[in-house]
Amino acid sequence: MRWGVRRARALAFVVALALMAGAPRAVHADDTAEAGALFASGNQHLQAATRLRGERRTRELEAALADYVASLRIVRSRNVLFNASLAAELLERREDAFNYLFEYVGVAGLSESDRAEGTRRLDALRPHVAVLAITSAPSGAEVWIDRRDLAARGRTPLEYAVSAGDHRVWLRASGYRDAEVQVAATVGTTTPVSATLEGAPASVQVLAPPDVRLTLDGEPIAAGAHVEIAPGTHVARLEPEGAAPIERRFEVLPGAAPMVIDLATAAAGLARREGALLVVTSEPAARVMVDGLVVGGGTAVRAPVTSGAHEIVVEADGHLPYTTRHTFATGDRRALRVSLAPQRGDSLLAPRIVMGVAGGLSTIAVATTAIGWFVADERWDSAHTEENADEVEAWAYAAYTAWGVAAAVIATEIVLLIADGRSDEESVGELVVAPVPVEGGAVLSVGGRL
């Protein structure tokens, strides 16, 4: 369908203006001479077409459009875009005309009057074409329509005229996964096409000590491992025992280069700020506790400690525990040498039992002999007979013997009491109790070494 004589005359007038205004602005200073020559050639064909009719006119318009397209492959010039849209519209290639015009009105530095004229012509073409209004998040994505083997049609946001029917649209942006959209286009309608691009993951390596718990966004990971994570904000967290956690928040951009998060340096600095305790003992089975927690065992135990006061206990089976308190400053390091004293049993229990029995018996003996001696003495006072004299002498001897034994028992108890008070020392000594014969009887001898 042709647009009529009025439309053709209006386009001829616009072509004349374009040829007059476009020629001086064929190329910019940085454009190549080849692009300028192609633009000039296209203008000659377009000017010739305005004076011709029929097939000769069509051939000149096609030649003009071909030169403009070749020039655009070298430099995307706004003048070339505008003249290419004129040639395409005169050839009734309305989709091409719309697409050249859309690019033209988006050129930076275009005057307000030129932009308004280009927008007016776009609006005049809309009822005759099917337009896809393509947007993306993020914007600036490259757009392909129907064929990915050709050059991209532009970048979002983009309006692009297509033939009526079904179409496939692909979008690509650096750092994001490609997106594909199926859409049906209708002549006279602007169909919105929108896509949210998913950010491509990035590789992250977290450096940290291997023996400390390490998490990334709350999930445990191995120190030094390479992890693929989605774009966004992430948190790497190191949790050393006895110290505050170390956190590092970082942002991953879509498609970012591999990243390295270093927590090892911070952990090393933390270790230098901690105090340290070394406990040396002579007992292989010794256990060392700090504030009630076992931190190690053996003859040499090393343990980190935080600043402040701490209770240190060293213990071993069969030995008396050693307890002390120390106050550590930041980074303080101390060594303790501990000699555990053996834990003695009650080695004086048996002698004390024997002495207890002996004390009881000697008390009875003293009382009995004293009474017997008193009774015999009364008999001697009433009758001085040889028999009564012998009885008094016998009871007196028995009483002296009982008193001697009682004195020996008392002395032994005193010795045992002193020895018991020194039971925690290295040596208690020895005790010797033995009877010693003398003329007319015997005495009880008590001796020893303390």
Residues 1 and 123 both lie in one domain? yes
CA–CA distance, 208 with 12 (Å, rounded to integer):
74
Pick from 93, 128, 163: which residue ends a domain? Answer: 128
Specify if 158 maps to a domain. yes
Specify if 65 maps to a domain. yes
Q: What is the pLDDT of residue 268?
A: 76
Residues 256 and 279 both lie in one domain? no
Residue by residue, pLDDT tens for the chain (450 residues) are 344 444 444 454 455 445 544 443 444 445 578 998 999 999 999 999 989 999 999 999 999 999 999 999 999 999 999 999 999 999 999 999 999 999 999 999 999 999 999 999 999 999 999 999 999 999 999 999 999 999 999 999 999 999 999 999 999 999 899 999 999 999 999 999 999 999 889 899 999 988 889 999 999 999 999 999 988 899 999 988 767 788 999 999 888 889 999 998 887 766 555 677 888 988 888 889 888 878 888 888 888 777 778 899 999 888 889 999 988 776 677 888 888 888 765 555 566 677 677 777 878 877 888 887 778 777 777 877 878 788 878 888 787 787 777 787 787 777 766 665 554 444 334 444 444 555 555 555 555 544
CATH number of the domain to which 49 belongs = 1.25.40
Residues 250 and 185 both lie in one domain? no
Residues 318 and 408 both lie in one domain? no
The domain in which residue 437 lies consists of 349-449
Residues 162 and 265 both lie in one domain? no
Q: Are 237 and 266 in contact (CB under 8 A)?
A: no
Instruction: Give residue for tokens 């600043």.
Output: 307
Q: Name beta bridge partners: 289.
A: 294, 313
Q: Are strands 232-239 and 213-216 parallel, antiparallel or unpaired?
A: antiparallel
Pick from 147, 166, 198: which residue ends a domain? Answer: 198
Long-range contacts of 71-76 (CB under 8 A, 24+ apart): 71/35, 71/36, 71/38, 71/39, 71/42, 74/31, 74/32, 74/34, 74/35, 74/38, 75/27, 75/28, 75/31, 75/32, 75/35, 76/103
Residues 172 and 289 both lie in one domain? no
The pair of three-digit structure tokens given for residue 291, joined into one six-digit string: 């504030």
Number of other CB atoms surrounding residue 378 within 10 Å: 11
The pair of three-digit structure tokens given for residue 299, joined into one six-digit string: 């003859």
Residues 30 and 65 both lie in one domain? yes
Phi/psi at 158 (nearest 5 deg)? -140, 135
Specify if 204 maps to a domain. no
Instruction: Give residue for tokens 């305005």.
Output: 50
CATH number of the domain to which 288 belongs = 2.60.40.1120
Number of domains comprising the chain = 5
Residues 4 and 123 both lie in one domain? yes
Pick from 270, 286, 321: which residue ends a domain? Answer: 270
The single-letter DSSP state of residue 35 is H
Specify if 17 maps to a domain. yes
The pair of three-digit structure tokens given for residue 356, joined into one six-digit string: 């207890």
Residues 293 and 359 both lie in one domain? no
Instruction: Give residue for tokens 């329509």.
Output: 145
Residues 37 and 123 both lie in one domain? yes
